[in-house]
Structure 1
């Protein structure tokens, strides 16, 4: 409320756009794992199923980004944030550090999950 002016409806739209991305990512994961369990060999149908599910995630992610830009593009808010962080440099540094930690944790978890996929276990056995 201090920086951005967002109505409840706009907030709900942003929330739904993000929920759509996460939901389709879950569906994509389910499709990929189902295809991996169904066959250990690469097939055109399996590839098409995986590509289609990944495409749905991509389309929803683009939609979410564009929705966020349309709602959050408020130059006055950006100016207010700049002034705030300029006056509170420690908060800015902590914010940047939190981004670095979040990225590190995300990459660590992603790599761990990737190693446990059935296709990765099959590749390592060969």
Structure 2
């Protein structure tokens, strides 16, 4: 049934993603590879256009995997017994994912791995300053980690409860990025206050427990901090 509110629609969509991540091993692998590629790409200082292409490619591969999972569930619901038609439907859907994966490998080679091969002498101390890029990539990686952890604990709804708090994770990830980028004490204090208010509101609304909020905040802050220490 169609959701009657925008927030509920998002919650239902995220719930579908969490279910797919929990039940499909290939989707877990795709997400882990995506995190690795995003981190490797930071070392290589690829252009914004290349990063956009890379992000679109990752999104398409994961989306195709989600569509494949949905088609498999529909097929199983329609065909109660094993039959050739059901097998063909699943094979074609899997073929679509395979084609997307081949395209992702092709794009990844020219945007990441070819440059990695051509710059094997690259050292951490020679890595250029790209604090803004780290901030954006950190949020993406934190969201991926939250999805993986939520799928493991399987508690609460995507936007309502569960371990960890995604709101706290993202807000404290932003806080750490602001600290590294701005180096402005007043701005840092203001963003810290905002992050605390977001986290406290999740507890006061009884959406999350104190432990879930603390874990989420620590996850976002620690992940972003590590990325900045590596790449800054």
Verify same fold: TM over 0.5: yes
Q: How many residues align?
A: 89
Select the residue among 49, 55, 80 that pairs with 1:9: 49
What is the aligned-residue RMSD (CA, Å)? 2.8
Distance 1:13-1:2 versus aligned 2 partners, 3 A rule: closer
Equivalent positions of 1:88-99 (< 5 A) are none
Measure how far apart 1:60 and its partner are: 0.2
Aligned counterpart, 2:62: 22
* Equivalent-residue separation in structure 2 for 1:29 and 1:9 (angstroms): 30
Measure how far apart 1:2 and its partner are: 6.9
* Equivalent-residue separation in structure 1 for 2:65 and 2:43 (angstroms): 31
Distance 1:65-1:40 versus aligned 2 partners, 3 A rule: same
Cα pair 1:3 1:77 within 8 Å, conserved: no
Tell me, which stretches of 5 or more residues in structure 2 are unaligned? 1-40, 125-144, 153-232
Cα pair 1:20 1:60 within 8 Å, conserved: yes
Tell me, which stretches of 5 or more residues in structure 1 are unaligned? 85-101, 110-126
* Equivalent-residue separation in structure 1 for 2:103 and 2:48 (angstroms): 19
Distance 1:22-1:2 versus aligned 2 partners, 3 A rule: closer
Highest RCO, 1 vs 2 (Cα 8 Å, sep ≥ 6): 1
Aligned counterpart, 2:88: 48
* Equivalent-residue separation in structure 2 for 1:2 and 1:15 (angstroms): 13
Q: Deviations over 1:57-92 (max 9, x none)?
A: 000001001100111111343321xx54xxxxxxxx
Aligned counterpart, 2:17: none
Select the residue among 72, 77, 89 that pairs with 2:119: 77
Select the residue among 90, 99, 123 that pairs with 1:59: 99
